[in-house]
Amino acid sequence: MSLVPPPLSRNSAPRGAGERPDAAGFWRRHRGLVRSVRLFRLFRKEQAEPEVFYAALAEDTVCQIEDYCDLAGRTVVDIGGGPGHLTAAFRARGARCYLFEPDSAEMLSRGAAPPGAVIADGYWLPVRDGGADLCLSSNVLEHVRDPLGLIDEMVRATRPGGLIYLSFTNWFSPHGGHEMSPWHYLGCRLAERRYTRRSGRPPKNRFGVTLFPVHVGATLRLMRSRSDVAVVDALPRYYPRWCKALVRIPGLREIATWNLVLILRRIE
């Protein structure tokens, strides 16, 4: 694999407009309730200031992954990373990060694709078996028709002993319907009609087309039943770590988790 240029230094890594130069330092220092409060405040900027929101979320995500492995010199596959916020954050840590995005409009949404980015389907990654130290998909699983097929491909692309970072917004969470939330609780068709009526345009995430229900309990059971991966951790993505007990409570976890992170390790 030689698609990506040498990693960027910390000082040369691009950041979203409005992000402080010490953004990475902020997410490393603040790992509890302060982090969660700031993340939920940033959610309010997702539509109006997407650069600020996605650059900050990328820094937080990479800091989260650094709890499980050192990224310097690692080969990372970023699946569905859009315009490359996560790719930039990984390269800033010295990782060799490869961005594969199926939607050219998403990849070019910042005006230009990141160096070395490739249009590719997450079900058919142009990566040799076991070619990645870390395979990541951030909030992609709920947007694919066959989530298990995507997970299978991520496992194939990850070396034995390597990590898989998988996060998704669970359907019954308050944000499960994305921009149609929380009206998706009353039915996806009603929620879609309401959004279209109020905004004058159809939602970007359409149920059964680009948005599909994914559930915490079912996904956990599937991952724990597999012989090719071990579940290293499972926790609510945006909450303090002491909230991870929520993931163990059937029913409540489907609503309260909001967004689930799974850290998997590929087994020989």
Render pLDDT for 135-192 as a digit per residue (tens, 0 to 9): 999 999 999 999 999 999 999 999 999 999 999 999 999 999 999 999 999 999 999 9
What pLDDT band is residue 47 in, cutting at 50, 70 and 90? Answer: confident
Segment 91-98 shows an average pLDDT of: 96
pLDDT band at 46 (very low <50, low <70, confident <90, very high): confident
Instruction: Name the residue ranges covered by the structural domains of the chain.
Output: 72-170+214-266
Distance CA 57, CA 39 (A): 8
Task: Report the pLDDT value the prediction gives residue 30, as an integer from 0 to 100.
Answer: 55
Helices (DSSP H) in 66-161: which residue ranges? 85-92, 104-107, 147-157
Q: Give pLDDT, residue 11.
A: 34
Tell me which residue of 106, 194, 116 sits closest to 143, measured CA to CA: 106
Q: pLDDT grade, residue 10 (50/70/90)?
A: very low
Tell me how far CA of residue 119 lies from CA of 56, 80, 154, 210, in angstroms.
24, 10, 16, 18
CB 122 within 8 A of CB 226: no
Q: pLDDT grade, residue 50 (50/70/90)?
A: confident
Q: How many residues does the chain have?
A: 268
* One CATH from 3.40.50.740, 3.20.20.370, 3.30.200.20, 3.40.50.150 for 72-170+214-266: 3.40.50.150
Q: Is the pLDDT at 69 greater than 50, yes or no? A: yes
CB neighbour burial string for 129-142, b if at least 16 within 10 angstroms, e if fewer:
eebbbbbbbbbbbb
* Average pLDDT value over all residues in the chain: 88
Confidence check: pLDDT of 21 > 60 = no
Q: What is the pLDDT of residue 44?
A: 80
Q: What pLDDT shows up at residue 29?
A: 55
Rounded mean pLDDT of 84-99?
Answer: 95
- H/E run at residue 194: helix 188-199
Of 149, 136, 160, nearest to 61 by C-alpha is 136
pLDDT at 28: 55
State the Cα–Cα distance between residues 58 and 61, nearest whole angstrom.
Answer: 5
- Beta partners for residue 231, in sequence order: 264
